Amino acid sequence: MAEARASFDHPIFSESIRLIRAALADPSAPHAFHLEVWSPVEQDVLLRLIHSSGDLSLAQDVRFSEGACVAGLQALAAGAAILTDTAMAAAAVAPMARRTFGNAVHSVLDWAPPQAPEGSTRAAAGMAQALQAHPGAVVLIGSAPTALELLLDQVAAGQTAPPALVIGMPVGFVGVAESKRHLAQSPLPQIRLEGSRGGAGLVGAAVNALLRRAWLDQAAY
């Protein structure tokens, strides 16, 4: 197990995680947070999000639905595809996927038309096709609230199988709060970031934390 962990954790990364834990544990700090309220894998996700963003305040805004991380671990270990709303997020995830379970990683833009449909976006149009091609995928949305809304609508209407996990962290101000609220109201397993923050780097960090944990858990047996 120690050898497996060492192959993933550069000394700088390990020291960074130690410092983040110490900063969150400081009761006098403005962003103090009790990590113990979350499971070990939920802590892994949060710590990687903070490491990737340099933002300790993220601890206040990350939300996990019950059993979401376990569902994600199981799906990833079983080889589920990973769908992202941008090529940037796919690029952030692909190296860890290759090092672990070999999950296929696709941007939904691979299925998108050259031009956005009227009143929609290329990411939303591509999402509709990607969900049909990869039922039960782990879906990462860091930029396109329209893609998140389409996913929720299609699942609610029974037009596509529910994803194994949705990591919903679209960034920005137009449609973002609404899409995150709709995700929170859905029964889908989910990890989301409240507010206007998000982006490709954060959704990539979240799923990389899950891939790492699933791989290390497997190595322990």
Please answer whether residues 142 and 200 qualify as being in contact, where contact means their C-beta atoms are separated by less than 8 angstroms: yes
Instruction: Please report the pLDDT score of residue 221 as a whole number.
Output: 61
Q: Answer yes or no: are the C-beta atoms of 54 and 22 closer than 8 Å.
A: no
Total-model pTM:
0.94
The total number of structural domains in the chain stands at: 1
Examine the pLDDT at 7 and tell me if it is beyond 70: no
pLDDT of residue 29: 85
Q: What is the per-residue pLDDT for 155?
A: 97
Strand bridging mode 62-64 / 190-193: antiparallel
* CB-count burial class (<10 Å; 0-12, 13-18, 19+) for 28: exposed
The answer to whether position 46 is within a domain reads no
Is 116 inside any structural domain? Answer: yes
Q: Rounded distance, CA 84 to CA 138, Å? A: 9
Examine residue 103 and state whether it is found in any structural domain, yes or no. Answer: yes
38 occurs within a structural domain: no
How high is the mean pLDDT of the chain?
Answer: 94
- Of 93, 127, 94, 71, nearest to 200 by C-alpha is 93
Q: Which residues participate in catalysis according to the annotation?
A: 51
Task: Report if residue 27 sits inside a domain.
Answer: no
Q: Can you give the pLDDT at residue 153?
A: 97
**CATH (domain of 194):** 3.40.50.10230
C-alpha to C-alpha distance for 202 and 143, rounded to whole angstroms:
10
How many helices (H) and strands (E) the chain has is answered by: 9, 6
Q: For residue 174, is it within any domain? A: yes
pLDDT tens for residues 140-150?
Answer: 999 999 999 99
State the residue range of the domain holding 77. 61-219
Banded pLDDT at 65 (limits 50, 70, 90): very high
Quick: pLDDT tens for 11-48: 899 999 999 999 999 999 888 899 999 999 999 999 99
